[in-house]
Structure 1
Amino acid sequence: MIVRPLALCLTLLLAGAAAAGDIRIKDLVEFDGVRGNDLVGYGLVVGLNGTGDGLRNSPFTEEIMANILERLGVNVSGEQFRPRNVAAVLVTASLPPFARTGSRIDVTVSAIGDAKSLLGGTLVMTPLNAADGQIYAVAQGAVIAGGASAEGDGARVVQGVPTAGAIPAGAWVEREIAFDFAAMQQLRLALRSPDFTTAERIERAVNRAFGRSVARMEDAGTVVLDIAATGARSPAHALSRVENITVEPQRKARVVVDQRAGTIVMGADVRISRVAVSQGNLTLRIDERPLAVQPNPFSPGETVVVPRTDARLEEETGTGLAELAGGTSLSEVVAGLNALGVSPRDMIDILKSIKAAGALHAEFIVR
């Protein structure tokens, strides 16, 4: 058996672009009040091919099925019915901003019992509630499951997740969110990644586009837009101009490492100071060679197995210290790390050591 604790496997090194470029404001901020709302409902999927809930293990499925049948005029009180073609599900959706009554939205359906698959099922009419307890949409339709399963007497094969699916445009919007957007006098632009430099650039870009002071930076994550000062006919007209203005965002220098996948992502602003690095590998080799000892012929005794273990610890000969010159660009940093001649997985340990030595000038994130 060979164990290599320091020699890691193949990885992928991803580097950010050299320049961020101009990005539209609509891709950098969220507009105050322009947001969606989450909806959730509890329903029943029928028409399954024997892959539904086992009603002995999921009594809530039997309860909701009885309620639905009674609402349809079928009396099932005291009856014993245990079909395998129904499944209890949670239905989730997102009500987009400015959704109007009669529009349709997508829904996601997920089994909550012991159903094996939702393939071929149909969701029965399910009300969808928001956080305030009000019904805002009603979902119904054929479920498109995201996997497949096959089962025999001695084996079962599952690909993907057949117990979850979606219904495109599967819900009708029945109630609108009360929000008077047209009456707003000021509108806040909330940066998705707060940064003082980016917020100041948005302020200058908006004021330059309107030719006067209409935007004001409050903090690293907020820019306030004065709707009246824009001279637009409505807040919607003002936002239609603001959201397409482009700015170059400023990002923090950041290195993100995923140790499980062996992935390294480096931003364009990552820099290192001049540093020397040495890296080596340890190899632990353990060989088991048990020896059987037999007694002499026609003599009393028994066969004894004598364990024999050969354990060796070896260290590969390296090239000594390798000097990494201070990098002034991402390409120079990557070239300096590649000059060490190690795999990107080994670079994870090297980057940790460089950061600990104070030579890596970036935020180091390990996932």
Structure 2
Amino acid sequence: RFGGFTLPDFLGDRYESNAFRAFAAIVVLVSAVVSLIAQTKSMGIVVQQMSGLSPTVSLVLATTIFVFYTSVGGMLAAVWTDIAQWLFMTIGLGALFIVLWGKLGGITGMALAANQAAPGWTSLTGIGWSTSSLLTWYLVWFIAYFTRIEFVTKMYTARDEREAKASVAWGLVLVLIFFSVTVYFGGAARALVWDKLKSPDQALPVLIKTYLTPFWGAFTLAGVAAAAMSTVSSLLLLSGAAIAHDLLRKSYYEPRGIVKSEAFYLLVSKLTLLAVGLVALIGAFFTPTLVLTIVSYAVALTGAAFAMPMLLGLVWRGTTPAAAYASSVGGFIATALWAVFTELKLPWARAVHPIFPGLLLSIGLIFAISLVTKPASAETVERFFPRATSKAKVSAEEDS
């Protein structure tokens, strides 16, 4: 509706700030790199289980594959390969679910077996979780699904608003189904293969190799790889767009009247993609943190930086550019610092997830500063709130 292509496009246009657009592009890039480290690790584990290669070779091979096909195909290829990857994932993991269901005797059987293997697993706080850390962990994923850059940006590929809205509804249903199945796999791993794991990240591949035939095992591992590749392709493309489109084109060159060819921006995008893939590979080698924890940091960074400016930018005309920018910067920095403190294993930092202080600061800044700073121009308000503005004009005319 507003004519943009990326999340930084929305923030830059809504808040009339190329500086905000540039900062948002940097947040997208940092979050994408952090998330790609996690996805690269998971892809390496899958390749190792499928091929028997060493962890190092598996990581390099996995990175080479997804960087190559993403750089060659672009967003259109990512959308179509997502469909094929979804089929692999659904059929493969569906086969594993059926086998484990029969092995454990349904949900009740799984829960009893998991709790017997790990007493406390079925309690509300599980094993090793405090109430505060658990509640803020839920907060991460609550915020994640309207700020995760790979999800939000894919809606821009829809042909019209109707399809974009429908994709949100259907996406929510599918996510809930897959998450429910994932919980079942977690309990099954606790009950059946936990003593065989060097790391919890290996739980699903080990379940697959242990309880499926070679054919179905290979098919299902391909499904797990497909899930990672779907995310990876989107994140790589977003990294390229963040630098080429958002940072260079929209924040630097075009505001200064400098014209560059489409070939130039395409080259910058592909070079960024290669560089980000290399950084993710290096990070995967030297990051001992669990995959899911790394992903939670990535979505926390975007959640704390973008949730309030996005949400209030769509529903409150009084959200000011200065407030939104300060909210985004403050939320991002607070979350990043808290994540560092958490990785340093400081007890007070580990009590809550990094998104909690970041989101609190973001909320406080956006409301407080909006009350004392200048709002966006009337033209921008009209562009993003056409119905509200039209009603206000009609009401004013009737009063006069």
Q: TM-score, normalised by structure 2?
A: 0.22
Higher relative contact order (CA 8 A, sep 6+): 2
User: 1 or 2, which has the higher helix percentage?
Assistant: 2
Q: Computing the radius of gyration over CA atoms, which structure comes out larger, 1 or 2?
A: 1
User: 1 or 2, which has the higher strand percentage?
Assistant: 1
